[in-house]
Structure 1
Amino acid sequence: MRTDDLIDALASDTGATRRSPPRRLVLVAGLGALAALALVLTVLHVRHDLMPAMRGGMFWMKALYTGALGVAGYLAIERLARPGGSGRRGWILGLAALAVFAVAGTVQAMVSPHVAHALHMLRGHSWTHCSPNILFLGLPMLALGLWAVRGMAPTRPIAAGFATGLFAGGVAATVYGLHCAENTFTFVAMWYSLGVLMVAALGAIIGRWALRW
């Protein structure tokens, strides 16, 4: 069990840990991205039209969205890894990015010529395995991130675990774009978001006990 005195003592020693979380988290992101890339190359495989796709705007819009979710997780956990820290900046960024894509996806579906077309934009060709694939790619970084955060000083384990999962999910979803050929706001807003949130939820569940001290 934590005590108020111990938390106060840790909080008074922030000078020793102020630079540690950013360095560790950047390393976690780098290793997590490499692990996700290795899984894409060896298990899922890169989309066959990657080079033409990279010349299109939607490829980079997906990366911008998922990257923003990853940055949101980083901003949250960078603060939550410190005694008494708050992830408010990260939560605001994450919710803003989610809201923008949700609105764009909804509008895109609403202006479609008929319901069948809207359903096709929502489901695409891979809706059944998009979210699980993102979870799969995010597991190595989530494990590494929780291990790194455990060595810091989080005082809110569930929130810290969720933020770590959001961080890992955002990075994994960005790398997943190298494999996924879906290109509608509607699809990304639903299934990419769900995949990232699955990693975040798993982080919160594990963090509840793994980040306690």
Structure 2
Amino acid sequence: MKTDDLVSLLSNSGGAADPMMVSSRYWQAMVISTGGALILLLIGYGLRPDLSVMLGTPLFWARLAFPAVIAVGALMVVARLARPGVSVGRSWTVMALPVIVVIVAAVLTLGLAPASERLSMVLGATWRSCPFNIAFLSIPGFIANFWLLRNMAPTRLRVAGAAAGLLAGSAATIVYCLHCPEMEVAFWAVWYIAGMLIPAVIGAVLAPRLLRW
């Protein structure tokens, strides 16, 4: 068969792409990310005992909004990087903005606090375990996001892998907030970001092998 005949056959026989298919895959990945993280949290760590009280405090919701906005930005970036030739545009700023806000707030709160309290504000009581707990909770989302990308056509593999890992990490951080006792902004600015970066770095490293097509 000649090349022109093959192209003609493929173009005539191909049906219209389902516009809901891609959207459905994104939703499936997000459900697996958050649902899987929640299951791991309940099995491994449990909810903080005063969660019902914390739900009534603005600071708790501010802490929850921090990874949630990052997750929205990461999802926007993943959605664009999953398609070849699509520019990321300003989606990066959606991820960067909450990080900048939290870092600035952390610097301000540390500057206003007595020098003797600053270290404890950064370290809290769980700094040794927090980033690794977040990375552990991100495993279902990491798998789901890479499954999503493998069914798409990313070309910037390392960047796409990093964004997929960050999306998994931010979704895991949202869930981890239901357990974590730390309420200092300085703590979030260091250890929450570190926890989200672990799957992002792993995603960037593994992407050329896992996403090659």
Distance 1:47 1:65, change over 3 A: same
Query: Residue 35 of structure 2 aligns to a residue in which SS?
Result: helix
Counterpart in 1 of 2:145?
145
Alpha-carbon distance, 1:206 to partner: 1.4
Q: CA deviation at 1:87?
A: 2.7
The one-character-per-residue Cα deviations of 1:133-152 (angstroms, maximum 9, x if unpaired) are 00000011101110111111
The equivalences for 1:182-201 within 5 A come to 182-201=182-201
User: Contact 1:69–1:97 at 8 Å: present in 2 too?
Assistant: yes
Larger Rg: 2
Distance 1:81 1:19, change over 3 A: farther
Instruction: Kindly report the root-mean-square deviation, in angstroms, between the aligned alpha carbons of the 2 structures.
Output: 1.6
Write out per-residue CA displacement over residues 100-148 of structure 1, whole angstroms, 9 at most, x where no aligned residue. Answer: 111001111111022x201111001101111100000001110111011
Write the distance in 1 (CA, Å) between the matches of 2:121 and 2:114. 12
Paired letter, 1:101 = V
Show the 5 A alignment for 1:1-213: 16=17, 19-114=20-115, 116-213=116-213
Identical positions, percent: 34
Query: Given residue 144 of structure 2, which amino acid in structure 1 is its aligned partner?
Result: L
Structure 2 counterpart of 1:197, one-letter code: L
Paired letter, 1:57: P
The number of residues matched between the two structures is 199
CA distances 1:52-87 after superposition (whole Å, capped 9, x unpaired): 111111111111010011111100000000012233
Deviating 4+ runs (over 2 angstroms): 15-23, 85-90
Shift of 1:16: 3.4
Contact 1:173 1:192 in 2 (8 A): yes
Aligned residue for 2:17, secondary structure, equals helix
Instruction: Answer yes or no: is the 8 Å Cα contact 1:170–1:196 preserved in 2.
Output: yes
Distance 1:89 1:16, change over 3 A: farther
Task: Note the C-alpha offset of 1:17.
Answer: 7.2
Per-residue deviation, 1:88: 3.4
Q: For residue 25 of structure 1, report the CA deviation from its aligned partner.
A: 1.4
Q: Which stretch of the first structure deviates more once superposed, 19-28 or 194-203?
A: 19-28
Please state how far the C-alpha of 1:204 moved relative to its aligned partner.
1.1
Unaligned runs of 5+ in 2: 1-13
Return the offset for 1:202.
1.1
1:18 offset after TM fit, Å?
Answer: 5.8
User: C-alpha distance in 2, partners of 1:17/1:156?
Assistant: 24
Shift of 1:21: 3.2
Q: 1:145 to 1:108 in 2, by over 3 A?
A: same
Secondary structure at the counterpart of residue 88 of structure 1: coil
CA–CA separation in structure 2 for the residues paired with 1:128 and 1:88: 36
